[in-house]
Structure 1
Amino acid sequence: MADAELLVTELVTNALRHGRGDVGVRLSFINGHLRIEVRDDSPEVPEPRAAASLDESGRGLFLVQAVADDWGVTDNGMTTWCSLALSPLCRTP
């Protein structure tokens, strides 16, 4: 579950740093996948940016891309989501 913690942390940090208003998190389980959704009130669509080697930030969405099975942003730009396949041991019967 370390991957799930990393994904939540990165998406929430982005919402707090770059979004507006309240930040909400929703977790759901769909067909063996954990879906993580983070919402804020900003319609600006988050995009990965190129961080220089000495930059202290700017790698969050690259980490999400690398770890998650899929990710995206809703059409209104207010919710960033990702999904992560769960191992059979993590699934509920």
Structure 2
Amino acid sequence: MIMTLAFLNPSRAFDGARNAVSFIGHDGMFEIRFFVEAAALASRQERKATMSEAEFLSAFDAMRPSIQDVARDVYSRRRSNLNTLSVADFR
């Protein structure tokens, strides 16, 4: 049986050490961690160089449906429980 990736928990957080926004998906009972690099979020914004943590989180919220689509695509290819989404994944 193939499980589909679901995003049941809407929480997200900025991870300063990774310079990325983290969020969680679920494949059945397995928790799948994702990070979206700040550069991927900034590439879609006008104020790329000066974005604050709050602006990265806001950009994530605005892009959530497309981020989740990209996360599903990346996960279907890698099947890893830890995935980092970069600018290249959004092209």
- TM-score normalised according to structure 1 size: 0.30
Q: Which one has the bigger helix percentage?
A: 2
Q: Which has the larger radius of gyration?
A: 1
TM-score (norm 2): 0.30
